[in-house]
Chain A
Amino acid sequence: MIVPAPYHLALSAVLFTLGMVGVLVRRSALVVFMSIELMLNAANLALVTFARLHGSVDGQVVVFFILVVAAVEVVIGLAMIVDIFRSRETVDIDDVHLLRG
């Protein structure tokens, strides 16, 4: 590999952490979604890296699965967000705390 594997993995880790922090910290539902996508793609990167490393295609196949799942998740999630926005005029996730104990 031109760029050694550890660098790819480090990038994956950084991207994942950024995504995770984004999910925890950001208030806009759309940004949370983007952060989740970021995390998923970080995982994709790690998988492809390892696939290249081991010289097998298995990791890349799993990436396809993840891509499909991510797409589906986005569809449903965005539909829900649009619905919430329609009834509440907000996408701030701190405003939807009715299901509290």
Chain B
Amino acid sequence: MIPFLVVLIPALPLAGWAVNGLWGARLRRAAVAAIACGTVAAAFVASVGLLWWIQRFPLGGGAPGSLPRAVDLYSWIATGPVQVPLRLIVDQLSVTMGLVVSGVGLLIHVYSVGYMAEDPGFARYFAYLNLFMASMLTLVLAGNLVVMFIGWEGVGLCSYLLIAFWYARPQAAAAGVKAFLVTRLGDVGFLLGIFLAFGIFGTTDFVVMTREAAGRLALGGGAATALALLLFAGAAGKSAQLPLHVWLPDAMEGPTPVSALIHAATMVTAGVYLIVRLHAVFLRAPLAMDVIAAVGAVTAVFAAASALVEPDLKRVLAYSTISQLGYMFLAVGVGAFGAGIFHLTSHAFFKALLFLAAGSVMHALGGETDMRRMGGLGRRLPQTAAAFAVGGLALVGIPPLSGFFSKDLILSQAFHARVWLWGVGVLAAGLTAVYTVRAYALTFLGTPTNGARVAAHDPPPSMRGPMWVLTVLAAIGGALGWSFGRPGTLERFLHPVLSVGGEFALRAGGSGVAEGVLVFASVAVAFLGVALGWLAYVRRALRGTILPLAQLLSHQFYIEALYAAAVTRPARSLARLLSVGDRVVIDGAVVGVARTIGRSGEALRSGQTGYLRHYAAFVLVGALLILVYWMWR
């Protein structure tokens, strides 16, 4: 029963992909939508079923009917020492991720039905989206690194396909390629990490790696650090951390539900999940953890600063996502794995909500994303504005919304680790507040900059429904982790997974007073940021000071320019050089052979004159030659 349920979770969306991919163009739109949403809904139900089963039958307790930890689908590679089965595992962590992925995925599938209703590529869209769900679910349920990598590559492929969904648009096509190539860079590290893991452990099975990490990896040793950093390279690419973040803002070329699902709630969190899953390994490499935390913190602040000067609404949200992912890496970097997953979950709720709200704004304005051409939409799109407001407040970290709990948890853990990390995190939180207020103000407040907004209205129910569900989740999601002085619900749930193989003790919580001060500080910063944003963008009181700073920021600290000079241009020159070689040498050789044969054929052709007398003469000459040859023997 349970193995069947586990297999169903990635298998159903895969079937949905096959059906919609092969016959979707011939089916009615209602059928396509039903198949696509149905498979994801079934996967979600199956995940809930697994959750209930875990609660009812504690894992591996030996009690009758206890959940098997692993489900082997197929013995894929079985050559002596190297054994890689297609294994899915069920534990609290994979079930949590499965619920988030399938749950948010289902909401976004439903939203997409309304959003993509007039698009000619309707069936193709849902086919790709289902394929993505199948890959992502494979990723989170994987039992070893190789199966996880299958899912990893699958989501990368779907990300490319969906970013470049409107492939006739050159920017979209370029963005898709950019996303794929940049994450590829990270994937190189991931692959090397997989090979290293094989070398160290003889397997990439998660259970084995977790169990043996302490034994085989010397604390702070070269092997542990190398493995951790290589895996982090893959995570950094997929989760858009510095300096591999450049693909995410451009990825906004894709349809907005895609941005919500893939580039906010699920795919980009795969990196965080990877690190949490292999926490036992990472805990043996303190240096790597420091690097991860530092990169996360710097990314958080850098991206938040970039969001401040971005005129495009979706790109603001993209930078915001990069920034929040930075928080998650900051969390896992200091060993707060539960906090990282908690923020992953609450971020999935409020960021998806923000993207869906942005999508309904675009839907109302016929595809407009530039905030400079928006304004005053709060009156015409009240429900959307409300949803955006809730999502925004959650993002900023205003209590009692979910974002407050998860972000505060991370910040307090960071404080106990290294104070400077906490400082950077607080700074990023302040910037977050400012850019969020900015986005809301430019979009929904003030006077409309374009007069022809009469037709703008709130989206249809199929789009509003998911938004409301996410609004509620973003608001109350904090209940999952509400913890002052004692571990929260989610942390306790994940404890059995996170405690194996590491010395990471369940957070006992500092003394009530110190906690309270930290909480007060972060809330104060949030409110300060909101106030600053209000002054700057609603009251427009701070014009003069912003401009030069904006100059620096609007070029994203010239990182893109750096990439162009250091990577793109040399690569293009090399490619041009090699293409010359290819054309002249290789093509020359191959075509040359063909041409030579052709020419010799032409030469021989001249003997076929068609005149009988010539042929007779040739026969005579030949006979004479033979005669001569005989006589001279």
Contact = CB atoms under 8 A, between A and B. Distances in A.
Interface of A: 20, 23-25, 27, 32, 93-94, 96-101
A97 B611 contact: yes
A7 to B, nearest CB: 23
Contact of B613 (A94, A98, A101): A94
A99 B610 contact: yes
Interface in B610-627: 610-613, 616-617, 620
Interface stretch (B284-292, B425-433, B563-571, B601-609): B601-609
B609 A20 contact: no
A24 B620 contact: yes
A25 B609 CA distance: 16
Nearest to A96: B612
A100 B617 contact: no
B612 A100 contact: no
A54 B617 CA distance: 34
Nearest to B623: A20
A97 B610 contact: yes
Contacts of B608: 99-101
Nearest to A99: B610
B611 A101 contact: no
B612 A101 contact: no
A97 B609 contact: yes
Contacts of B605: 101
A99 B620 CA distance: 20
A97 B609 CA distance: 7
B603 to A, nearest CB: 11
Shortest beta-carbon contacts, A-B, top 6: A101-B608, A100-B610, A97-B610, A101-B605, A93-B612, A97-B611
B616 A23 contact: yes
Contacts of B617: 24
Contacts, number: 33
25 contacts: A20-B620, A23-B616, A24-B613, A24-B616, A24-B620, A27-B613, A32-B612, A93-B611, A93-B613, A94-B611, A94-B612, A94-B613, A96-B610, A96-B612, A97-B609, A97-B611, A98-B610, A99-B610, A100-B608, A100-B609, A101-B605, A101-B606, A101-B607, A101-B608, A101-B610
Contacts of B611: 93-94, 97
Nearest to A97: B610
A95 B607 CA distance: 18
B16 to A, nearest CB: 61
Nearest to A23: B616
Contacts of A98: 610
Nearest to B601: A101
Contacts of A25: 613
Contacts of A20: 620
Most chain A CB within 10 A, of B609, B610, B620, is at B610
Contacts of B606: 101
Nearest to A27: B613
Contacts of A27: 613
B278 to A, nearest CB: 72
Given A23-B613, A100-B610, 19 more contacts: A20-B620, A24-B613, A24-B616, A24-B617, A32-B612, A93-B612, A94-B611, A94-B612, A96-B610, A97-B609, A97-B610, A97-B611, A98-B610, A99-B608, A99-B610, A100-B608, A101-B605, A101-B607, A101-B609
A97 B611 CA distance: 5
A94 to B, nearest CB: 6
A27 B614 CA distance: 12
A96 B607 CA distance: 16
A91 B13 CA distance: 80
A97 B612 CA distance: 8
A32 B608 CA distance: 20
A96 B610 CA distance: 8
Nearest to B611: A97
Contacts of A96: 610, 612
Contacts of A101: 605-610
Contacts of A32: 612
Most chain A CB within 10 A, of B606, B607, B616, is at B616
Contacts of B610: 96-101
A27 B617 CA distance: 14
Contacts of A24: 613, 616-617, 620
A51 B533 CA distance: 127
Contacts of B613: 23-25, 27, 93-94
A94 B620 CA distance: 18
A96 B609 CA distance: 11
B249 to A, nearest CB: 65
A24 B605 CA distance: 22
Nearest to A94: B611
Nearest to A32: B612
Nearest to A98: B610
Nearest to A35: B616
